[in-house]
Amino acid sequence: MKTKGFIYIASIIFALLFSSCEEEHMMTKIGDSAGFVEEFYFFSVKQDQNFIDIPVIHNSINVAGSKAEIELVAAEGTNAGWITMDKTLIDFDESDTVMVRLTFDLASLTEDVNYSVSLQFTDQYLGYLYGGYEEVTIDFAKWRARRMSDFVGTYDVEAVSNYEPGDWDESWTVTTEAHATDPNILLITGIAGSDVAIEATLDFDNLTVTIPYEQDLGDVYGYGSTLLYNSNANLEMISADLTGTLFENNNFEIDFMMMYFPAEGWDWDIFTPSFTKQ
């Protein structure tokens, strides 16, 4: 009887200890999973816009929601003290999508220096939501107006095919230089491997790039002259200038770039090229 009594008392003590540990734990339950909506953000910190909201999504098989803890990890050269998080413990009881706000100390940042932090879950019991990301990286810099020199250099280009994405994608390396007389024109050499420089007009106020259509890349695919045309989601030829977006990290992207062979009457592909500065 003493042995049974001892086992009974020990089991009660174990249950109480386990319950206490559970209380200290963030209440993540079996079946809970969470994730970040995006894997990467680039944020330009301005005087009137010095914060960014990062959505965190959650899924639970339980009726009541649970909590999850996250931490901020600063990359080398970035001081975590420059960033304030409005929460480190996320309570999903009220909603399955919770915003985490990061506020940046603009005065501590140096112009033309890139910084980076990441948000990570610290809860080992938490699963990762399918379709979400277990970590998100936020690269940020102190804002200043873009200028032509920001977009001069060498770029790696991933040209995604709109006909067969993945299978027909192309990779290029291009060089850019400022026009000799027009301060708004950037010369791009290396599109589709061409040694012909094409002209692109940069609008730094609206962060847009415009490429006049019918510029000739030369014989880059073996079918004679290759002209640039605009297109759209329906993959139609459009006799209009190509347009794209300039980014504050000095990269840029063109929406639709058709490679058309006038001698053949058909096009090679319609790409969405992304230009990443080396």
Q: Do 104 and 159 fall into the same domain?
A: no
| Residue 15 CB contacts under 8 Å (≥ 6 apart), including other chains | none
Residue 17 lies in a domain: no
Task: Using alpha carbons only, give the angle 134, 138, 143 rounded to the nearest 5 degrees.
Answer: 170
Do 135 and 227 fall into the same domain? no
In a domain, 12, yes or no: no
Model pTM? 0.63
pLDDT in tens, 153-173: 999 999 999 999 999 999 999
Q: Answer with the one of 85, 115, 142 that is the final residue of a domain.
A: 142
- Residues 199, 111 share a domain: no
Q: Are 116 and 69 in contact (CB under 8 A)?
A: no
Give residue-wise pLDDT tens across range 34-92.
889 999 999 989 888 899 999 998 876 554 557 788 999 999 999 999 999 999 988 87
Per-residue pLDDT reduced to its tens digit, 218-264: 999 999 999 999 999 999 999 999 999 999 889 999 999 999 999 99
Say whether both 155 and 84 belong to one domain. no
Q: Are residues 162 and 126 in the same domain?
A: no
153 & 249 share domain: yes
Q: Which of 142, 173, 207 is where one domain is finished?
A: 142
User: In this structure, what are the phi and psi dihedrals at residue 165, rounded to the nearest 5 degrees?
Assistant: -55, 135
What is the residue range of 195's domain? 148-277
Confidence label for 272 from pLDDT (cuts 50, 70 and 90): very high
- Tokens 């009726």 label which residue? 63
176 burial class (0-12, 13-18, 19+ CB within 10 angstroms)? buried
Q: Are residues 116 and 176 in the same domain?
A: no
- 77 and 170, same domain (yes or no): no
Q: Kindly state whether residue 22 falls inside one of the protein's structural domains.
A: no
With respect to residue 182, please indicate whether it lies within any of the assigned structural domains. Answer: yes
13 found inside a domain: no
Q: For residue 18, what pLDDT band results from cuts at 50, 70 and 90?
A: very low
Task: Please state, as a whole number, how many other Cβ atoms lie within 10 Å of the Cβ of residue 165.
Answer: 10
User: For position 23, what pLDDT does the model report?
Assistant: 42
Q: How many domains does the chain divide into? A: 2
Q: Read off the CATH number of the domain in which 226 is found.
A: 2.40.128
Strand order in the sheet with 83-85: 83-85, 97-104, 51-59, 33-36, 127-128
Domain boundary among 102, 118, 142: 142
67 lies in the same domain as 158: no
